[in-house]
């Protein structure tokens, strides 16, 4: 990425944990945070005080109506992403929408069309894609360092609260391991191999009907295969691997955060080792990318185009239909 960016004024929509992490990284990178909005004015005030944000609003409508806000980071639960992104777009704001883009592909396509019709950027905040180690991995892939990539596998597994009211277990909030955790490895294998040509999934459902474990097997164009595993009840290795005919890449724990990886020959000889040096969590890279895209006069991310985000949501829809998980926003066919 170049150093040219738009120097946008950010608005933060919602004040939960992910909004705190993102805003902290914006501050680390020296980006401008102009306003925050919450459904509760006291929550917005507290958030604004924590990050020295000039304006705090007790409604999302007030936030997106602020003429001093250029771009809105949508940090609400999954099932509200489409509604809140649409609100910002309707008020002429670019949007960076926390992953997953929406609750299903139908909503994702509607956000895409709304942004395109207004000449605005709508971008999924899959921050992992923008991290330095992932950019180096793509350089190696583009250079043919792995030969033919035959398989990719990754897990995102954590031990999260079992409380039925917690958002990870609440279907009305898009709860379940898949959309919260599994989207990371699903997006990763799509990034490396392209959209799957076939999808097989198995899952375990929890007490609320939300998925607690999901395993997938995908095939991709050219015959490559991939596997992913997500769990909200048990923490696994959280590593990822790309295996080619000439070499493999092993990404260490925690692979979807700034970390190390090794490029190794088939006999195990290490050809290259890469270590990320990142200030903060690393969420600022996606924000910097958004500013660069807008400064260049573009309205889509080359690293994660909106069409690809919609296609990933369609894959997640297929998985949910196979495992029997439905949300209130889903249509009659489960999408």
Identify whether 302 is part of a domain.
no
Compute the mean pLDDT over every residue in the chain, rounded to the nearest whole number. 96
Q: From residue 24, give the alpha-carbon distance in Å to each of 51, 133, 287.
A: 8, 21, 12
Pair 265, 179 in one domain? yes
pLDDT at position 6 is 72
What is the band of 334 on the pLDDT scale with cuts at 50, 70, 90?
A: low
Domain limits for position 35: 9-127
DSSP reduced 3-state for 48: helix
Pair 152, 271 in one domain? yes
Pairing of strands 32-37, 196-205: unpaired
Give the tens place of pLDDT for each residue, 163-176. Answer: 999 999 999 999 99
Does 172 qualify as catalytic in the annotation? no
> Is the confidence at residue 3, as pLDDT, over 70?
no
Q: What residue has token string 């895209």?
A: 293
DSSP reduced 3-state for 325: coil
Pair 107, 144 in one domain? no
Pair 93, 149 in one domain? no
> Is the confidence at residue 5, as pLDDT, over 90?
no
- Separation between Cα atoms, residue 323 and residue 114, nearest integer Å: 31
- Which has the closest alpha carbon to 291: 130, 137, 133, 136? 130
> Is the confidence at residue 33, as pLDDT, over 60?
yes
Give the tens place of pLDDT for each residue, 265-303. Answer: 999 999 999 999 899 999 999 999 999 999 999 999 999
Pair 272, 123 in one domain? no
Give the tens place of pLDDT for each residue, 182-230. Answer: 999 999 999 999 999 999 999 999 999 999 999 999 999 999 999 999 9
Cβ contacts of residue 323 below 8 Å, gap of 6+?
178, 201, 202, 203, 205, 211, 214
Identify whether 104 is part of a domain.
yes
> Is the confidence at residue 247, as pLDDT, over 90?
yes
* CATH code, domain with 67: 3.40.50.720
Give the tens place of pLDDT for each residue, 96-112. Answer: 999 999 999 999 999 99
pLDDT at position 272 is 98
Given 99, 127, 155, the domain boundary residue is: 127
Please measure the distance between the N-terminal and C-terminal CA atoms of the chain and give it in whole angstroms.
35
Q: How many Å separate Cα 148 from the centre of its chain? A: 27
Cβ contacts of residue 17 below 8 Å, gap of 6+?
none
Question: Domain count of the chain?
Answer: 2
Identify whether 1 is part of a domain.
no
Q: Which of 93, 99, 172, 318 is catalytic?
A: 99
What is the band of 2 on the pLDDT scale with cuts at 50, 70, 90?
A: very low
């Amino acid at each position: 990425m170049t150093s040219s960016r738009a120097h946008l004024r950010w608005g933060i929509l919602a004040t939960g944990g992910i909004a705190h992490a993102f805003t902290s990284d914006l501050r680390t990178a020296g980006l401008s945070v102009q306003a925050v909005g919450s459904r509760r004015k006291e929550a917005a005030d507290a958030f604004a005080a924590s990050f020295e944000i000039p304006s705090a609003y007790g409604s999302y409508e007030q936030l997106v109506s602020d003429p001093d806000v250029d771009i809105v980071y949508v940090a609400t639960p999954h099932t509200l992403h489409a509604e809140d992104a649409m609100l910002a777009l309707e008020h002429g704001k670019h949007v960076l929408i926390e992953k997953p883009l929406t609750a299903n592909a139908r909503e994702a396509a509607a956000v895409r069309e709304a942004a395109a019709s207004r000449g605005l950027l709508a971008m999924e905040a899959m921050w992992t894609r923008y991290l330095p180690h992932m950019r180096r991995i793509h350089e190696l892939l583009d250079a043919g360092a792995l030969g033919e990539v035959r398989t990719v596998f990754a897990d995102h597994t954590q031990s999260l609260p079992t409380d039925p009211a917690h958002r990870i277990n609440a279907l009305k909030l898009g709860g379940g391991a898949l959309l919260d955790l599994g989207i990371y490895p699903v997006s990763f294998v799509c990034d490396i191999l392209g959209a799957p040509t076939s999808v097989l999934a198995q899952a375990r459902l929890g007490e609320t009907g939300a998925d607690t474990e999901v395993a997938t097997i995908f095939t991709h164009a050219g015959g490559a295969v991939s596997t992913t595993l997500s769990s909200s009840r048990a923490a696994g290795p959280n590593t990822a691997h790309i295996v080619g005919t000439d070499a493999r890449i092993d990404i260490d724990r925690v692979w979807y955060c700034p970390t190390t990886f090794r490029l190794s020959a088939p006999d195990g000889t290490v050809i290259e080792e890469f270590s990320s040096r990142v200030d903060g969590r690393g969420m600022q890279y996606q924000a910097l990318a958004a500013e660069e895209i807008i400064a260049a006069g573009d309205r889509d991310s080359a690293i994660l185009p909106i069409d690809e985000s919609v296609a990933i949501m369609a894959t997640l829809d297929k998985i949910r239909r196979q495992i029997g998980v439905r949300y209130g926003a889903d249509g009659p066919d489960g999408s």
